[in-house]
Amino acid sequence: MNSKIILVDGISKVTIIKRKGQRSIRISVSGAVVKVTQPSWLPFSAGEKFVSSRIAWIKEHIKLDYIYHDNQQIGITHTLKLAKGAKLARRITEHTLLIRYPHTVEPSSIIVQEYIIASVQKVLRKQAEAYLPERTMQLADMFDFEYSTVKVRTLTRRWGSCNSKKEITFNLRLMELDALHIDYVILHELTHTLHMNHGSDFWQHMERVIPNAKKIAKSVRHLQV
């Protein structure tokens, strides 16, 4: 499959894909992802021209999962600051994520928001790698758990996991939750070092280490991963 990525002002990335057997140019928008498919025999310039003719339609249908704004809290230690500048740039300090964006675009535009999203991921990873292993050790010592390792990754469907080797993995976005929910997820995975399922023994143990565990579990399930 032959493809090309183009950058479009106000939209950011558009992927143009050539497909054998396709007879016409088609465009699709899913969230913030824009794709164009076209017959394999057409030059990419045809797809680019098609995108240019549909800019207004794309902007109407494109959706961001999250809009970041000035002075927004990022994780447990940082605040997002937005300021105009010559080009897209970021600066991460001990407590601030500073994003500069060009005068020609709005901070709510796709291109700026995508840049902020990537920058936030860096900040959350830095926070998670500094906080989660230490907090896991503290809670394990407090409640007599034993585990092998703690890793931080980008997970798409869960806040954390624990395998039979007692290796614990946490989603870096866990840092977006409050202290109670972070501790709940940590204790949840630590309890899996003793009980690998969600049976009655698991929940009895959870209730001993964190009161109202099932009630907290319900609220965690309603939080978007």
Model confidence band, residue 221 (pLDDT cutoffs 50, 70, 90): confident
Q: What is the DSSP string of 102-123?
A: ETTS-TTSHHHHHHHHHHHHHH
Q: Tokens 């995108």 identify what position?
A: 51
In the prediction, which pLDDT does 1 show? 61
Convert the pLDDT of each residue in 72-116 to its tens digit: 999 999 999 999 999 999 999 999 999 999 998 889 888 899 899
Which CATH number describes the domain made up of 127-221?
3.30.2010.10
Convert the pLDDT of each residue in 156-200 to its tens digit: 789 999 999 999 999 999 999 999 999 999 999 999 999 999 999
Convert the pLDDT of each residue in 39-65 to its tens digit: 999 999 999 999 999 988 988 888 777
Is beta strand 2-8 parallel, antiparallel or unpaired with respect to 73-74?
A: unpaired
Convert the pLDDT of each residue in 114-165 to its tens digit: 899 999 999 999 999 999 999 999 999 999 999 999 999 988 789 999 999 9
Is beta strand 149-153 parallel, antiparallel or unpaired with respect to 33-39?
A: unpaired
The phi and psi torsions of 42 (rounded to 5 degrees) equal: -80, 145
pTM of the model: 0.74
Q: Where are the domains of the chain?
A: 2-61, 73-123, 127-221
Asked whether 97 and 50 are in contact (CB, 8 A), the reply is no
In the prediction, which pLDDT does 116 show? 94
Angstrom distance (rounded) from CA 97 to CA 79: 6
